[in-house]
């Protein structure tokens, strides 16, 4: 089917959530079932101008299905780095249509920056951090500029860098919600089975975590689910979940 995504053009605002707000929300929703929590957040307007950010990877269907049950009008932002697997793009269209998520948006890298910084499309091979910065981090920062909050699919079990994820965090005054932070793989698998959710086409081939095509490889039995991302590099995150340090310049 044709892509249901549109270009997103959000106007910059100044989010004003504090760590105290996140602490109160973490206390209020401790132990509350995920869908119940999401429905309460939307019913009470707690999140303000919000969106869910999805990579449409191997586990993305769970959060997107929950979002469709909580509020199907919620914007869904997808960063197309222009180096994605064709299977991921097809999976994106499948999930949006299947779940009735009618407010999908896509954001892409700045073509002028790509022409200047990655004209040969090989930056991934010698500077993966820089490649992620221009193809994923900057486009998503642009998309989040008009948001008060955003919803992430991070889960603590995915890697050692994601342990102890709180349901609510604050980054630069913007509330970040991690509804599946305390879910484990068994929880995800049970949800997939209960709701008969479509699986990512590459999962059956051994891709436990799917990102950009050049930097994603199959995962061997017993490996960390994200071991196939940037294999051979001392890198486990693309950068969108790593807040910039004060005074630090973006790696463009």
Per-residue pLDDT reduced to its tens digit, 100-148: 999 999 999 999 999 999 999 999 999 999 999 999 999 999 999 989 9
- Exposure b/e, 190-229, CB count within 10 A at least 16 = b: ebbeeeebeebbbbeeebbbbbbebbbeebeeeebbbbbb
Per the structure block, which two tokens stand in for 239?
């950068």
Query: Could you give the 3-state DSSP secondary structure of residue 252?
Result: coil
Better-predicted residue by pLDDT, 7 or 131:
131
pLDDT at 251: 39
The full set of domain ranges for the chain reads 6-215
Instruction: Map residue 16 onto helix, strand or coil.
Output: coil
Res 113: pLDDT: 97
CA angle 103, 108, 109 (to 5 degrees): 155
Active site residue 238: yes
Q: Is 44 left (phi over 0), alpha (psi -120 to 50) or beta?
A: alpha
When computed from its CA atoms, the radius of gyration of the chain, rounded to whole angstroms, is: 17
Q: How much is the pLDDT for 225?
A: 75
Q: Which of 52-56, 89-93, 208-212 has the lowest mean pLDDT?
A: 208-212
**Two tokens, residue 122:** 């090989």
Q: What is the mean pLDDT of residues 71-91?
A: 97
pLDDT at residue 238 in the model: 61
Average pLDDT over residues 85-92: 97
pLDDT of residue 23: 97
pLDDT at 3: 40
What pTM does this model have? 0.86
User: What is the structure's pLDDT at 229?
Assistant: 84
The answer to whether the CB of 71 falls within 8 A of the CB of 48 is: no
pLDDT at 231: 79
Over residues 185-212, the pLDDT tens digits come to 899 999 999 999 999 999 999 998 899 9
Q: Give the three-state DSSP class for 158.
A: helix
Give me the chain's average pLDDT, please: 87
Report, as an integer, the average pLDDT of 68-87: 97
Q: Is the pLDDT of residue 224 over 90?
A: no
Residues in the chain: 252
pLDDT, mean of residues 5-19: 56
Q: Is the confidence at residue 90, as pLDDT, over 90?
A: yes
Kindly state the average pLDDT of the residues 155-161.
Answer: 60
Q: Looking at 131, 132, 212, 238, which residue is catalytic?
A: 238
Q: What is the pLDDT of residue 236?
A: 64
**Which superfamily does CATH assign the domain made up of 6-215 to?**
HUPs (3.40.50.620)
Compute the average pLDDT of residues 213-223: 88
Name the band, by pLDDT with cuts 50, 70 and 90, for residue 166: very high
């Amino acid at each position: 089917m044709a892509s249901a995504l549109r270009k997103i053009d959000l106007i910059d605002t100044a989010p004003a959530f504090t760590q105290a707000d996140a602490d109160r929300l973490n206390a209020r929703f401790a132990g509350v079932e995920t869908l119940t929590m999401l429905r309460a957040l939307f019913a009470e307007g707690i999140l303000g101008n919000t969106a869910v950010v999805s990579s449409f990877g191997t586990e993305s269907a769970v959060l997107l299905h929950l979002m469709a049950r909580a509020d199907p009008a919620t914007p869904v932002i997808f960063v197309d780095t222009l180096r994605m697997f064709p299977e991921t793009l097809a999976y994106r269209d499948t999930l949006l249509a299947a779940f009735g998520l009618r407010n999908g948006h896509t954001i892409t890298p700045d073509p002028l920056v790509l022409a200047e910084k990655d004209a040969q499309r090989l930056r991934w091979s010698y500077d993966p951090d820089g490649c992620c910065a221009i193809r994923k981090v900057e486009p998503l920062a642009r998309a989040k500029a008009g948001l008060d909050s955003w919803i992430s699919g991070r889960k603590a079990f995915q890697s050692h860098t994601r342990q102890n994820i709180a349901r609510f965090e604050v980054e630069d005054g913007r509330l970040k919600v991690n509804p599946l932070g305390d879910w484990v793989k068994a929880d995800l698998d049970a949800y997939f089975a209960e709701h008969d959710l479509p699986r990512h086409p590459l999962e059956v081939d051994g891709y436990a975590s799917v990102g950009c095509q050049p930097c994603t490889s199959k995962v061997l039995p017993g490996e960390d689910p994200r071991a196939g991302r940037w294999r051979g590099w001392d890198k486990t995150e693309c950068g969108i979940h790593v807040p910039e340090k004060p005074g630090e310049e973006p790696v463009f």
